[in-house]
Amino acid sequence: MKPPFRADQVGSLLRPAVLAQARAKFRRNEISSGELKAMEDKCVREAIQKQESVGLESITDGEFRRDWWHLDFLEQLDGVTAVANPGPKFGGTQEQPPIPSVTGKVGCSKPIMLNDFIYLKQNTMGTAKFTIPSPAMLHLRGGRSSISKEIYPDLDAFWADTSAAYRKAIRHLADAGCTYLQLDDVSFSYLCDPKIQDNCRRNGDDPARLPRTYADAINAALRDRPAGMAVTMHTCRGNFKSSWVASGGYEPVAEAMFSSAVDAFFMEFDSERAGGFEPLRHLPKGKQVVLGLVTSKSPVLEDKEFIKKRIQEASKFVPLENLCLSPQCGFSSTHHGNNLTVEEQWRKLERVVEVAREVWR
């Protein structure tokens, strides 16, 4: 079976304590970059082995070398810097993730995270899955106001440069043997929330037009992808220290989102904030949906029969053979991690594998 798999995952894993300690020492100049990399390598190898042992076929590096799921990639694009977030905030925490700002011409003058992928591929017997933020993540949070008007008086030029940069970055990964790529994208699900829509208007954008703009940017970014590369997209409503930003069902964005030229959509359905399965009726024939029915935000382990019931409910809108199962998000989209233990994380991934085997045999 080609990706996505019946039992799949979004990608990020809780950082081991020894890795967090090593990163803190590195920031204090107590260890060298080589010593930090050695610790990262060790922790990635152990995470790979654990993923394989629980029965996952898609294997990630846990995003162990990143601080943020999106910024570590975006800041390596030419013309991008990180700034403080002035927009809607995550609840329950004082610390807030920064947002990207475009201060120069966007480009990809060098491979991004290529060595991270190569190390992953060399150390797994499964399918090496690599995750990067979608092109929309350069725009959503700051919008027009976060993109230099001197560099880009016309946003069409910004989107053309961004898509071209992504095509280069994806080509670098493809040439290194990447056959499973995931675009992480909160834009579509965020735009289902009225407060996010209001923020877009304050930023100088029309939220009603953005879903189509973002889908077009994704399609342009994927235009040259090789035939053997499976590409999925994950969308959620925020994931920072078990908190979230947005709420609202997918109906307002479903048609535009499903026009994205990806093979499958990882969609969170773990809470009432995500709405019902009805928007899945817009899914084009031949595409797949990976149901995020197991929450990564809480340590409570979902009941098997409850998950199976939810899968059956979704199958009223998408044939069962076009459905898969995963957690609704990563367990550590940022280096902070969500509010559960490493053991609880692995039990949830084991539960995903267990239910998938029983449902799809």
Cβ atoms of residues 83 and 148 within 8 Å = no
DSSP class per residue in 288-348:
EEEEEEE-SS--PPPPHHHHHHHHHHHTTTS-GGGEEEEESS-S-SBTT--SS-HHHHHHH
**β pairing state of 78-83 and 99-107:** antiparallel
Instruction: Annotate 205-255 with DSSP letters as a single string.
Output: --TTTHHHHHHHHHHHHTTT--TT-EEEEEE-S--BTTB------STTTHH
Q: CA 67, 69, 74: angle at the middle one, nearest 5?
A: 95
Q: Which amino acid is at 282?
A: H
> What is the distance between the alpha carbons of residues 121 and 123, in angstroms, rounded to a whole number?
5
Backbone dihedral angles phi then psi of residue 170, each to the nearest 5 degrees: -70, -40
CA dihedral in degrees (313, 319, 322, 325; nearest 10)? 20
Strands 264-268 and 230-235: parallel
pLDDT given at position 274: 87
Whole-number Å distance between alpha carbons of 143 and 170: 24
Taken in order 296, 298, 300, 304, the sign of the CA dihedral is negative
**How would you write the pLDDT of the chain (361 residues) with one tens digit per residue?**
799 999 999 999 999 999 999 999 999 999 999 999 999 999 999 999 999 999 999 999 999 999 988 999 999 999 999 887 665 555 555 566 788 999 999 999 999 999 999 999 999 999 999 999 999 999 988 899 999 999 999 999 999 999 999 999 999 999 999 999 999 999 999 999 999 999 899 988 999 999 999 999 999 999 999 989 999 999 998 777 777 678 889 999 999 999 999 999 999 999 888 899 999 999 999 999 999 999 999 999 999 999 999 999 999 999 999 999 999 999 998 888 889 999 999 999 999 999 999 999 8
What does pTM read for this prediction?
0.94
- Cβ–Cβ < 8 Å for 313, 289: no
Q: Is the dihedral of CA 186, 360, 255, 193 positive or negative?
A: negative
Element containing residue 190 per DSSP (H, E):
helix 187-190
CB count, 10 Å around CB of 177?
A: 13
